[in-house]
Amino acid sequence: MILIFNFELTRILVTGATGFVGAHLTNKLLNEGNEVVTIVHDLHKVNGNTLKLFNIYDKTDKAIGSLTDETFVKRVVSDYEVSIIYHLAALPIVRVGNISPVPIWATNLQGTWNIMEAAKESGASVFYLSTDKVYGHHGSIPYEEHFALNGLNIYDCSKACADNIVRSYTKVYGIKTAIVRSCNIYGPGDLNSRLIPNTIRRCLKNKSPIIYEGIKYVREWIYVDDAINAFLLVAKNLEKESGDVYNIGTGFSADQTEVIPRILSYFPGITSEIRKPLPYMKEEIPYQVLSTKKIRKKLGWESKVSFDDGLAKVINWWRKHNHII
């Protein structure tokens, strides 16, 4: 079944549109006939710009500037008459955040309150993409939306704080908002340094993927198309369910010792290499599994793509695009 959502909008602002998930969302919104505005910080950046990789960069209206500039953000939302903001932009890498925290705070927190200030002045609605990492480490799984936000790594904490910033603007100012806390999203076009794309790229170079000894962190995985359909469904119901928070996931979770062999099954002759873990790897959340009862019951959403089917799609995409490796 194809989900089609018709928004009565003038223009939609997508922050983080040049990234992997943002580009998929932008592509979906454009295909539905929407006008999409993007905020671009590094104008001439080619590597890491998934909008360009998908050949849709020129189909968006681009505002050149930084999310940390409040005046600029307000001007973009006002000048383009934006009526809904999909706020996906964030500096997302845990390791980088722990090394250099200030840029994480600036982008993930200040960028978020600037978006909310712009929404407060313009009347725009806001969809905010959060993460399962905001929950930190709890004693029981799966995590439910009412659980405390205990993310303590720099990135995890920044997202938890931004999550609360969005909710506070709803409570105090009545801004229409919705928050989705997602598990690990994977799919075509992910140019970041993450387990699945890293492993596939190494295999395509005939290099052994790396398994770090003793690292058993369990992560839940969702294919990008399922995630985007959840975003659109939540946004469609934003007006009548303002201020709500939804987990999205699949129920499938696995650690590196399970994910990497599944990828290796597509690359006969390549074996993994065992290495000692780096110090930062011993400080991450042990497991992250989300309850999706709420979104399934209230909105009727459920994931469609199995992990193995999604993995096959990603590997096939990278085989066709191995020139960018």
How far are the Cα atoms of 32, 134, 167, 222, 224 from residue 244, in angstroms, in the given order?
Answer: 25, 16, 9, 21, 22
Rounded to an integer, what distance in angstroms lies between the CA atom of residue 101 and that of residue 155? 8
Q: Minimal CA–CA distance to 17: which of 161, 7, 32, 45? A: 45
Judge whether 122 and 82 are in contact, CB under 8 Å.
yes
Active site residue 135: no
Instruction: Count Cβ atoms below 10 Å from residue 23 Cβ, excluding itself.
Output: 29
3 state SS for 54-65: CCCHHHCEEEEC
Active-site hit among 57, 86, 155, 246: 155
Beta strands in 217-313 (DSSP E): 218-223, 244-248, 253-254, 273-275, 287-288
CB atoms inside a 10 Å sphere around CB 165: 17
* Amino acid at site 101: P
DSSP lists the bridge partners of residue 14 as: 38, 86
Catalytic residues: 155
